[in-house]
Amino acid sequence: MFKPKEKSSEYIDTTGELTSRSLKLGTWYVEHKELMQKIGLGILIGWCVIFMGYSLLMWGEYLFFGYWEDQKQQAMYAQYNQNYESIKMLYKAQDLKISNVRIFGTADKFYDFAANVQNQNEKWMAKVSYHFKYGNTETEMQTASVMPLSERPLVAFGLENDTFPTGVNFVLDKIDWEAVDPHRISNAEAFLAERNLFSIDNFYVDLPSATGLPVPALYMDLLNQSAYSYWEPVFLVELINGNQTVGYIHLYFDKIEAFSTEKVDLRYFNKTTEFNNVRIIPTMNYFDESIYIGPGEI
């Protein structure tokens, strides 16, 4: 038997708007529309079942296993990791310690002021601006460097006053902290120790009662026992009577060479003329490279 020929095959488009191929495709879509909807719905349901099932499986695994592992990790983090603020406190510069503010009478109606300043920080140097104040009178502001792990006096010389000053206060106007560069200096204490090698030898004093001079004469040798030479080094000479400091003298050189000895001859204008020992206190900033004399510069 012969299959009857579909009438759509006999269709001839006389308008040019609907071709025979378009008619066939449209007819096929109408005949299979319901089936295509069922297939699409089945695919969508299948995807939902797969992904929802996977999500429920993962949530179930986290609920029974992952959640408790997270709790354990948080507890370990709290145990082994310090609070940032507490860590920051460990590495910030600690405050300078000020002590022992003193007054020394020098020439008639002139006075020197001094205060001890201690820098307990191993990795911070302090550049300070300071002055002394009593009543309505203030000394001029001065600057000084305080090396790490060191203690030194800060002094103001030659304040004129008709009477002995009382109620003197030491004022820190400003502190600039400079961190020691660990890439250049790994051990600040050792760095300073190999440079701060100044000492006193052959010290003696000629008192006015013995020489007839109006003021004591100090003689000593200043030894630089380090391998470093310095431009314009500045020192404080601390005058000591027994275990008590009785005054300071400012000492300056144009230069000091490595492993050298400098003869020192000083006069001290002080109302207290009795002292039997001295201590040399360098005031240079050893971290300032410009203070060092390089090879061939002398």
Give residue-wise pLDDT tens across range 151-188.
999 999 989 988 889 899 999 999 999 999 999 999 99
CATH 3.40.50.740: does it fit domain 96-183? no
Distance CA 101, CA 112 (A): 11
Q: Is the pLDDT of residue 97 over 90?
A: yes
Structure confidence at residue 41 (pLDDT): 80
With the CA atoms of 186, 187, 191 and 192 taken in that order, what torsion angle do they form, in degrees rounded to the nearest 10?
140
Residue 75 pLDDT level (bands cut at 50, 70, 90): confident
Question: Could you give the angle at the alpha carbon of 158 between the alpha carbons of 131 and 168, nearest 5°?
Answer: 45
Looking at the chain, the whole-number percentage of residues with pLDDT higher than 70 is 83
Structure confidence at residue 15 (pLDDT): 58
Q: Is the pLDDT of residue 116 over 90?
A: yes
Q: Give CATH for domain 194-298.
A: 2.60.40
126 phi and psi angles, rounded to 5 deg: -110, 125
